[in-house]
Amino acid sequence: MSEGKDNLGVKSMVAGWVIRVGMTVLLVLLISPASAEYVVTSQIRGNVCQWFGLGLCGFHNISAVKGSDGKLYSMATSFDHVSEYNQEKKTCWINTKSDGMGIISSAVNALAQPVFFEKTASGEYEKLDVEFLVFSCIER
């Protein structure tokens, strides 16, 4: 008779453990922020402005970015984060410059802004001062 009671106690213990583990997993899934990947589906273009007092801007094809080692690298084919995503138009934007803080923004941009390049018709790379990147993308 005591054997049946012992089995019942073990079964209750296992059931309680399964419920606790299940609830913990559920809470972790609900509380954890969702991470997305934005996959590039078009040419990445950069907005480049020539100020000269007029603020003339235009888009350029971005072919490469300079790494911290000084070498040029192809652009990424996906990004973990973007500044803005339009699901309806399947378009991503990545701001590459700090703005709104005057001289502080200028200092941040001079020290931390990535350096982008466009490949010219002659095959050489031309350095660009990019305000933001835009490209077609899908969210995964």
Q: Based on the fold, state whether residues 90 and 75 are members of the same structural domain.
A: yes
pLDDT in tens, 32-65: 344 689 999 999 999 998 876 577 899 999 999 9
Q: Based on the fold, state whether residues 53 and 98 are members of the same structural domain.
A: yes
The pTM assigned to this predicted structure is: 0.69
Q: Based on the fold, state whether residues 26 and 73 are members of the same structural domain.
A: no
Nearest Cα neighbor of 74 from 63, 59, 85, 82 is: 63
Q: Based on the fold, state whether residues 64 and 105 are members of the same structural domain.
A: yes
Bridge-based pairing state of the strands 116-119 and 45-50? unpaired
Tally of domains within the chain: 2
Determine the structural domain holding residue 11 and report its residue range: 1-32
Q: Based on the fold, state whether residues 12 and 67 are members of the same structural domain.
A: no
Q: Based on the fold, state whether residues 22 and 82 are members of the same structural domain.
A: no
Phi, psi for 81 (deg, rounded to 5)? -135, 145
Q: Based on the fold, state whether residues 66 and 6 are members of the same structural domain.
A: no
Residues counted in the chain: 140
